[in-house]
């Protein structure tokens, strides 16, 4: 492996990594909001919306991100909705992640026994207070492991962003290999940068999970 | 004239077309302790749940100090503040300390000052022998301790009537007593209470009035001594007999 090649490539990777992280986090943020809204619609069994959410979840979970991105990037302009690659990447990630986040929140909400809600109500709390102080905090702490897994999954999925000509890590590596044939160095840096992004998330996730477990139930 | 706290008139409860409560009439006066017994599945829990509208009723009416308690009503939370309830399963909020479990409702519902509520909570906790548990989490408490906290959590709302649904049924025998003692103390203070229990000795000691329910109806009611000594109905007699140990006769 040639160190001088590595140092030469480094700035390019840094920039690409920043883009990956930026778009990844934005996508995850929107996915989380979308997931919460969908989970709420399912939890409160809101008519009509419930059916729409169910269709969305099936669509989102059963199609690859690459296809979703193609649809947004090449398909939507045909009906007059034109997006930049960045918006497309974020939107695609949010569309994919929303269903996974929704499932994580839903399983958390369903894990809370009915008696918790009933005890709160019988103390005279309103339905809103019950959800705010009793149901949600417990549901979120149950959901934490699934949420963390989703964040890591979605960050990994950003590797298909290059398909809509976003200059993310994958794009940079492929590009450099195509130009200079320094395959080893290019791939090495790709792995290193993904690790730099994902390892801290994994560690933070483990800490969070432990906290959540203590805040919630169990030992 | 004595003040009526709770009035039930012809309360009917149906689950999926099945009649579970079949016209329950009941009046509870201020300071009265009513104990309800009956075979499993006769509708005791359902009756208590109807009283604070955790279950909607299909017929009759329920009045708390004259105001109708109805599922879905706007002022239901206000009425529920006056109806305390403790369930069979320990239902403390697992993500909060004992202190927060107790003070959450008075702070959020009654908008009371935190320091002031915590003072009252501490005093109530020490009265049930749990002064040192304020900072603990529910998981660190025994079943009996949890039920005593659940009672304190209800008391701090200053309810007009207290409902207890087999609060000792899930406890190990050595913990039953500590919870029953707390309830006896509340009865002595003159609280209005409806207690569902299978602890017959306790029932007899605490009750002003016994009510025997079978198949969704009040079959018999009366003063505890009369009820236990000479039940008038066959069904009550049979039920009470199950709690007496008689050596099986051999031929
Ligand atoms: N949510 C429900 N849906 C359908 N049926 C129900 C529901 N809750 C209770 N029931 C039925 O209503 C009847 C009365 O139940 P309830 O729990 O009030 O009995 P109980 O007298 O409290 O019995 P136990 O002594 O075992 O606690 C039972 O037949 C039960 O199966
Ligand atoms: Mg019951």
Task: Tell whether the model's pLDDT for residue A184 goes beyond 90.
Answer: no
Task: Tell whether the model's pLDDT for residue A183 goes beyond 90.
Answer: no
pLDDT in tens, B29-72: 999 999 999 999 999 999 999 999 999 999 999 999 999 999 98
Ligand 1 binding residues, C-beta < 6 A? B 15-16, 20, 38, 40-46
Query: Do the Cβ atoms of A119 and B78 come within 8 Å?
Result: no
Residues 6+ apart with CB under 8 A from B10: B23, B24, B25, B59, B60, B61
Nearest Cα of chain B lies from the Cα of A60 at a distance, in angstroms, of: 33
Query: Do the Cβ atoms of A119 and B77 come within 8 Å?
Result: no
Q: Find where tokens 């008689």 sit.
A: B246
Query: Do the Cβ atoms of B83 and A119 come within 8 Å?
Result: no
Atom of ligand 1 lying closest to residue B39 CA: 25
- First vs last Cα of chain A: how many Å apart? 49
Nearest to A159 by CA among A6, A9, A24: A24
Map out the domains of chain B with their CATH numbers.
Answer: 4-244 (3.40.50.300)
What is the DSSP pairing of strand B209-214 with strand B33-37? Answer: parallel
Question: How far apart, in whole angstroms, are the C-alpha atoms of residue B122 and residue B133?
Answer: 10
Chain A touched by B105 (CB under 8 Å): yes
Question: How far apart, in whole angstroms, are the C-alpha atoms of residue A147 and residue B147?
Answer: 34
Nearest Cα of chain B lies from the Cα of A123 at a distance, in angstroms, of: 6
CATH of domain A3-213: 1.10.3720.10
B157 → chain A, closest CA residue: A123
Q: Are B121 and B103 in contact (CB under 8 A)?
A: yes
pLDDT band at B167 (very low <50, low <70, confident <90, very high): very high
- The interface residues of chain A toward chain B in range 86-115, judged by CB-CB distance below 8 A, are 115
Complex-level ipTM beyond the 0.95 threshold: no
pLDDT in tens, B87-109: 998 899 999 999 999 999 999 99
Q: What is the pTM of this model?
A: 0.83
Question: How far apart, in whole angstroms, are the C-alpha atoms of residue B63 and residue B80?
Answer: 12
Chain A touched by B85 (CB under 8 Å): yes
pLDDT value of residue B15: 94
The residue ranges of every structural domain in chain A are 3-213
Look over chain A and give the mean of its residue pLDDT values, rounded to a whole number: 89
Q: What is the mean pLDDT of residues A114-121?
A: 95
**What is the CA(B168)–ligand 2 centre distance, in A?**
12
Chain A touched by B77 (CB under 8 Å): yes
Query: Do the Cβ atoms of B91 and A118 come within 8 Å?
Result: yes
Query: Do the Cβ atoms of B139 and A137 come within 8 Å?
Result: no
Nearest to B239 by CA among B213, B217, B221: B213
Query: Do the Cβ atoms of A123 and B154 come within 8 Å?
Result: yes
Query: Do the Cβ atoms of A126 and B77 come within 8 Å?
Result: yes
Select from A126, A134, A219 the Cβ nearest to the Cβ of B93: A134
Question: How far apart, in whole angstroms, are the C-alpha atoms of residue A39 and residue A197?
Answer: 28
Chain A positions touching B85 (Cβ under 8 A) are 119, 122
DSSP H helices, chain A, are 3-43, 49-61, 65-70, 85-111, 114-122, 127-129, 136-157, 169-180, 183-215
pLDDT value of residue B133: 95
Nearest Cα of chain B lies from the Cα of A141 at a distance, in angstroms, of: 9
**What is the CA(B210)–ligand 1 centre distance, in A?**
20
Q: Whose CA is nearest to atom 9 of ligand 1?
A: B46
Structure tokens at B71: 């599922």
Q: Are B211 and B235 in contact (CB under 8 A)?
A: no
Q: Where are the beta strands (DSSP E) in chain B?
A: 4-15, 18-29, 33-37, 59-64, 67-68, 83-86, 161-165, 192-196, 209-214, 217-222
Phi and psi torsions of B11, nearest 5°: -70, 125
Helices A85-111 and A3-43, interaxial angle, to 10°?
50
DSSP A109-134: HHHS-HHHHHHHHHTT--HHHIIIII
Ligand in closest contact with the CA of B214: 1
Q: Find where tokens 């996915």 sit.
A: A31
A192 alpha carbon, distance to own chain's centre:
21
- The interface residues of chain A toward chain B in range 120-139, judged by CB-CB distance below 8 A, are 120-126, 129, 133-134, 137-138
Nearest to A154 by CA among A201, A200, A196: A201
Percent of chain A with pLDDT over 70: 97
Q: Are A149 and A204 in contact (CB under 8 A)?
A: no
pLDDT band at B1 (very low <50, low <70, confident <90, very high): low
């Amino acid at each position: 492996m040639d160190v001088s090649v590595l140092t030469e490539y480094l700035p390019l990777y840094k920039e690409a990594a920043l883009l990956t992280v930026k778009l990844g986090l934005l996508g995850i943020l929107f996915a989380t909001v979308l997931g919460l809204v969908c989970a709420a619609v399912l939890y409160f069994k809101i008519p009509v919306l419930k059916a729409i959410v169910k269709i969305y979840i099936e669509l989102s979970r059963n199609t690859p991100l690459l296809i979703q991105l193609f649809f947004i990037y090449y398909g939507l302009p045909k009906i007059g909705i034109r997006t930049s690659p960045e918006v497309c990447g974020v939107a695609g990630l949010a569309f994919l992640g929303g269903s996974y986040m929704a499932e994580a929140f839903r399983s958390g909400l369903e894990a809370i026994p009915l008696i918790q809600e009933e005890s709160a109500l019988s103390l005279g709390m309103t339905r809103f207070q019950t959800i705010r102080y009793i149901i949600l905090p417990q549901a979120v702490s149950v959901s934490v492991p699934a949420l963390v897994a989703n964040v890591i999954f979605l960050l990994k999925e950003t590797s298909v962003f290059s398909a809509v000509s976003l200059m993310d890590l994958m794009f940079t590596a492929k590009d450099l290999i195509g130009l200079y044939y320094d395959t080893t160095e290019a791939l090495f840096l790709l792995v290193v940068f993904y690790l730099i992004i994902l390892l801290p998330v994994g560690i933070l996730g483990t800490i969070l999970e432990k906290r959540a477990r203590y805040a919630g139930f169990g030992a | 004239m004595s003040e009526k706290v709770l009035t039930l008139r012809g309360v009917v409860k149906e689950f999926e077309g099945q009649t579970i409560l079949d016209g329950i009439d009941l009046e509870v006066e201020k300071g009265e302790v009513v104990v309800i017994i009956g075979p499993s599945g006769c509708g005791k829990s359902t009756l208590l749940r109807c009283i604070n509208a955790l279950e909607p009723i299909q017929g009759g009416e329920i009045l708390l100090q004259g105001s109708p308690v109805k599922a879905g009503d706007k002022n239901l939370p206000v009425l529920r503040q006056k109806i305390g309830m403790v369930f069979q399963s320990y239902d403390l909020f697992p993500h909060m300390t004992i202190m927060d479990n107790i003070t959450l409702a008075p702070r959020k519902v009654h908008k009371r000052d935190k320091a002031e509520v915590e003072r009252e909570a501490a005093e109530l906790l020490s009265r049930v022998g749990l002064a040192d548990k304020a900072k603990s989490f529910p998981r660190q408490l025994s079943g009996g301790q949890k039920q005593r906290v659940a009672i304190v959590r209800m008391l701090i709302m200053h309810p007009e009537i207290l409902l207890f649904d087999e609060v000792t049924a899930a406890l190990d025998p050595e913990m039953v007593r500590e919870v029953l003692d707390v309830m006896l103390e509340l009865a002595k203070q003159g609280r209005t209470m409806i207690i569902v229990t299978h602890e017959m000795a306790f029932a007899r000691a605490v009750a002003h009035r016994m009510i025997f329910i079978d198949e969704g109806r009040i079959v018999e009611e009366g003063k505890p001594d009369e009820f236990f000594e000479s039940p008038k109905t066959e069904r009550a007699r049979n039920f009470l007999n199950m709690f007496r140990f008689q050596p099986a006769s051999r031929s």
